[in-house]
Amino acid sequence: MKNLLRVRWIILLLGVAGGVMFLSFRSGDDRSFRLAKNIDIFSSVVKELEMLYVDTIDADKTIREGIDAMLYSLDPYTEYYPEDDQSELEQMLKNSYGGIGSIITWNAKLKRSMIGEPYEGMPAAKAGLKAGDILMAIDGKDLAGKNNQEISEMLRGQAGTGFRLTVQRPGTEKPLDFELVRRAIELPIIPYYAKLDSGVGYINLSTFSGTPAREFRQAFLDLKKQGITSLVIDLRNNGGGLLDEAVDIANYFLPRGKTLVTTRGKLKQLDQAYKTLREPIDPDIPLAVLVNSSSASASEILAGSLQDLDRAVIVGTRTFGKGLVQTTRPLPYGGTMKLTTAKYYIPSGRCVQAIDYQHRNADGSVGRIPDSLTTVFHTAAGREVRDGGGVTPDVEVKQEKLPNILFYLVNDNLIFDYATQYCLEHESIADAHRFHLTDADYEAFKDRVRRADFKYDQQTEKMLKNLKEMAEFEGYLKDAAPEFEALEKKLRHNLDRDLDYFAPQIKEMIAIEIQKRYHYQRGAIIEQLKDDPDLKAACAVLTDTVRYHKILQPIETNK
């Protein structure tokens, strides 16, 4: 009876509060009235559910899902983080979290999580955990039935807290126990940098969260001591982070007092200009910046500002196209809201935002702004650049499509499992620069694939089947039967043929996976760079002074 009275009092108070808000706003403009009206409706829906719905509702879950759906209808970057879910936001802003420092992946056959990739120098690696270790229990509690996300949350926690992890290691009979102590895990901001051939320096920048400007400065100064004469900045797959950090890094190569970014929002106080505040470290060294479709946000600010000021040659493929700025705002009860408050504009005046979330299709979907609707802007030297679709490289490199068979080999963990077996048979390998997968190694992999009864879809077979069905429907199949039969014979599924035909791409993926086991993320990057078309294109530009300067001049002067 007391609980019923309590619910009624809460509903009454909500109703009075909603009514006061409703009446006070109605006397204002129409927009305020509609806002108050809908808040009152939402409050009423929650009250009716709490009082009359046949089952007891989980208020936190129900309202959280309502909030998430409302925010996602605006854009995918505006998000709500309740008090008990701040770790993801903290990791995003600080590039750190409390945990053991390892990627956790899924073993579909065993229906259990396993260690996918321990980070060098982190608790998982220091304790001796290895890729392929199956996670069995935490402090004696069986992990069967739990998915990757649930287990990842269990492995994370306050730095300094400990637990016992039980794993089943391939090649061992009995489970192994490891005592682990969580620590603040900082993902590597610059996992690799080096002096390459012909005096070209290379810096791989993985994020703009944390303190990337400071680490970039240290790496760059070290490379200058080694005698580099030009520099490649690799921003591929860098999803962004802090705007200030991108401006600081650009400042290493640009004069003091240059406006690199301006932000414009609904409120005037959100309009800001970000300028270079210090003297540059090296205003003249030739620069190339590598980008791809996963280079976003702060990556586009750095690449775009260097392009707009004709300070670097951009190489690769068009970037993601995120020209929106997010700000965090505190909410009641320890919550935080990350919301889009402005758009940013780089020196030429363009905004690289590729998707207009405000104007959706009838079904609610959104698409990229077509090139025909973009606007031409000009760099400081007068070169044409466009808004509305990310940063388009000065030197575009055609990306080779991954073969269909490789997707299934990775998805079925066949490459991962082969690397695990390889480690059981090889205590060590050559250093990352000299390691290569031998023909004998690849033959062993092929044998493993055959024995696994590996199946995969061939798109040509699917398309031929669809074409055959359409030909039959339209009455052409009888006359074209011999041609279809000949095609079916030529396109018949042939695993050995595909493993040989796509050997270069498959061998590269295997080598990368093996390198991770011995040389961690640094080894994987070195392996990828051995035959990297983007890096080759960048080095070709940097070592050709005439071509480098010609690219950075207006098209009229190139004639």
DSSP string, 377-413: EE-TT--EEESSS-PPPSEE-PPPPPPHHHHHHHHTT
Which two three-digit tokens encode residue 493? 């599924």
Dig out the tokens for 358 from the structure.
């405000």
Q: Name the phi and psi angles at 8, rounded to 5.
A: -65, -40
Q: Where does 192-329+340-399 sit in CATH, by number?
A: 3.90.226.10
Contact residues for 525 (Cβ-Cβ < 8 A; gap 6+): 191, 192, 204
Q: Which pairs from 266-269 meet CB under 8 Å and 24+ separation?
A: 266/341, 267/341
Class of the CATH-defined domain 96-186: mainly beta
> pLDDT truncated to tens, each residue of the chain (559 aa)?
444 444 444 444 444 445 444 445 444 578 888 899 999 999 999 999 999 999 999 988 999 999 999 999 899 999 999 887 777 777 777 767 889 999 999 998 899 999 999 999 999 999 999 999 999 999 999 999 999 989 998 999 888 999 999 999 999 999 999 999 999 888 889 999 999 999 999 999 999 998 999 999 999 999 999 999 999 999 999 999 999 999 999 999 999 999 999 999 998 888 999 999 999 999 999 999 999 999 999 999 999 999 999 999 999 999 999 999 999 999 998 999 999 999 999 999 999 999 988 887 777 778 788 887 889 999 999 999 999 889 999 999 998 888 889 999 999 999 999 999 999 999 999 999 999 999 999 999 999 999 998 887 766 667 767 877 887 778 877 777 777 777 766 666 688 989 999 999 999 999 999 999 999 999 999 999 999 999 999 999 999 999 999 999 987 644 4
- pLDDT of amino acid 364: 75
d(CA 337, CA 461): 49
Active-site position among 130, 146, 322, 338: 322
DSSP state of 73: T
376 by DSSP, 3-state: which?
strand
Active-site residue (options: 297, 299, 305, 348): 297
Has 310 been annotated as catalytic? no
Residue tagged active-site, from 308, 387, 394, 534: 308
pLDDT for the residue 202: 98
What does the alpha-carbon distance between residue 389 and residue 499 come to, in Å, rounded to a whole number?
37
Is 322 designated active site? yes
Question: Taking the chain, what is the end-to-end CA distance rounded to the nearest angstrom?
Answer: 88
Could you tell me where the DSSP H helices lie in 129-211? 148-155
Active site residue 308: yes
Beta pairing class for 395-396 and 259-265: unpaired
How far CA 258 is from CA of 207, 254, 301, 324, 344, in Å, comes to 23, 7, 14, 21, 16
CA atoms within 13 A on the CB side of 148: 11
Query: Can you read off the two tokens belonging to residue 518?
Result: 């011995």
Residue 532, burial from CB neighbour count under 10 angstroms (0-12, 13-18, 19+): middle
How many helices, marked H, and strands, marked E, lie in the chain? Answer: 18, 21
At CA 346, angle to CA 336 and CA 280, rounded to 5?
A: 100
C-alpha to C-alpha distance for 392 and 368, rounded to whole angstroms: 14
Q: How deeply is 487 buried, as exposed, middle or buried, from its count of CB atoms within 10 A (0-12, 13-18, 19+)?
A: middle
